[in-house]
Amino acid sequence: MTKGAVDWSSVPYCMDAPEDVSKYQLQDRDIVISRAGSVGFSFLVQNPPSQVVFASYLIRFKPVNYFSEYYLKRFLESSDYWNQLSLMSAGNAVQNVNAQKLSTLTVPIPPIAEQKIIAEKLDTLLAQVDSTKARLEQIPQILKRFRQAVLAAAVSGLLIGSNKRNHHPLCSEWQWPDLPSTWSVHKYSELVDSRLGKMLDKAKNFGSATKYLGNINVRWFSFDLENLQDILISDIERRELSLKLGDVLICEGGEPGRCAIWSEPQDIPVIFQKALHRARVKDKIIPEWLVYNLKNDSNNISLSQLFTGTTIKHLTGKALANYPIRVPPLEEQHEIVRRVEQLFAWADTIEKQVNNALNRVNSLTQSILAKAFRGELTAQWRAENPSLISGENSAAALLEKIKAERAASGGKKTSRKKA
């Protein structure tokens, strides 16, 4: 119901029918509002199956015949409605609402003809908003695939182009295309000095407090340093385990292979967890090249062939040592990295623009609803159709009809709440 639709086939059945089924049976034009849980969310019932009753946590009411249920349903989506509902719930530990509180809602009531026009205009405008939002929400996934394609092209030599290529025995196993003739293949252990960090054990650790980088602090291409822990270590351990610019930190567990390049200021020593591999590149590759390869092989799942464990996966030092990496000349690595960063920056710019557009679109719905219930969407229509909003067709006449109906019922409560 919170999504504005009901899958009737998924609605459960009552094993014991209530004594007075008609009292609880839903009919066309009924509106139900949740009074607990997702408080305030509403649903307009249209052509329901036969023998459908509503649950006790819902409030059901039906607009009178000369009041548009579509207009009222749209009002129940507006900020005006939600603000009134919030005031009704103010001071309550448990958020809820009841029929008595809902009866105090203030609803702007235009003539019935204008109600229908407003509802039609809202259907058209909000459908356009939803369509725009749906298209915008697809773009981040498109950009994700774009970044993956850029990395795949980068580490295979396709980003800068190469006329002559050779087949390598590992091409099939690691999903590689043929390699540029100037490239070579080396194991991870040949390209970096690698080691695991220190285990956090307050009972055994001693020395002075030092910042401690954990697996959870490592993201792809960056670090989250908000909640760094402290660990007690000796001076010797601090010298051995302190991070330096250009160190690549690779997750051993969690999401094995996730990595980033350390580029933080060196004024405060930071050491790293035992669940992290610290890779210091030698002379054949640059740090970015190692990260690009790991990310690409994580994307295409080929890296998983190095993992151990069934439920919880690990990338051990022994397995990582045998990780094969395609290695172009250093000059070419730098050029490829420059192009990747350029393309990623372009994608980041687009993603930021899309997020800004989504924020505007998300606020557009309430802006349109507010204009509708201030009468701004139908100002021209009123000017062109004075006969439909005056005399017997006026809002004042509509209110008199409502009062007359209430008077005729003797003010008694019925099983259906009237709008």
What is the full per-residue pLDDT of the chain (419 aa) written as tens digits?
Answer: 666 677 777 787 777 766 777 788 898 999 999 887 788 899 999 988 888 888 888 999 888 888 899 999 999 999 999 999 888 876 565 567 888 888 889 999 999 999 999 999 999 999 999 999 999 999 999 999 999 999 999 999 999 877 789 999 999 999 999 999 999 999 999 999 999 999 877 777 788 889 999 999 999 999 999 989 999 999 999 999 999 999 999 999 999 999 999 999 888 999 999 999 999 999 999 999 999 999 999 999 999 999 999 899 999 999 999 999 999 999 999 999 999 999 999 999 999 999 999 999 999 999 999 999 999 999 999 999 999 999 999 999 988 887 887 777 665 544 444 44
In the prediction, which pLDDT does 92 show?
64
Domains of the chain: 8-111+389-418 (3.90.220), 184-327 (3.90.220.20)
pLDDT reported for residue 404: 82
Residue 344 host element (H or E): helix 330-373
Which uninterrupted H or E stretch holds 196? Answer: strand 192-196
Q: How far apart are CA 192 and CA 382, in angstroms?
A: 76
Predicted local distance difference test score (pLDDT) of residue 300: 95
Integer angstrom CA distances of residue 164 from 183, 256, 318, 334:
11, 34, 34, 20
pLDDT at site 358: 96
Tell me the whole-structure pTM to 2 decimals. Answer: 0.82
Please tell me the distance from the alpha carbon of residue 63 to that of residue 30, in angstroms, as a whole number. Answer: 7
What count of other Cβ atoms lies within 10 Å of the Cβ of residue 71? 25
Tens digits of per-residue pLDDT, 279-306? 999 999 999 999 999 999 999 999 999 9
Q: What is the pLDDT of residue 213?
A: 96
Residue 286 · residue 330 · CB < 8 Å: yes
- The angle formed by the CA atoms of residues 73, 79 and 80, to the nearest 5 degrees, is 80
CB 272 within 8 A of CB 241: yes
What distance in Å separates the CA atoms of residue 59 and residue 42, rounded to the nearest whole number? 9
Angle between helices 287-299 and 112-155 (to 10 degrees): 120
What residues contact residue 138 under an 8 Å CB cut-off, 6+ apart? none
CA distance 150 to 164: 21
Question: Strand 270-272 and strand 276-281: pairing?
Answer: unpaired
Q: What is the pLDDT of residues 314-347, one digit of tens each?
A: 999 999 999 999 999 999 999 999 999 999 999 9
The structure tokens listed for 377 are 């969407």
- Measured distance CA(330)–CA(294) in Å, rounded: 18
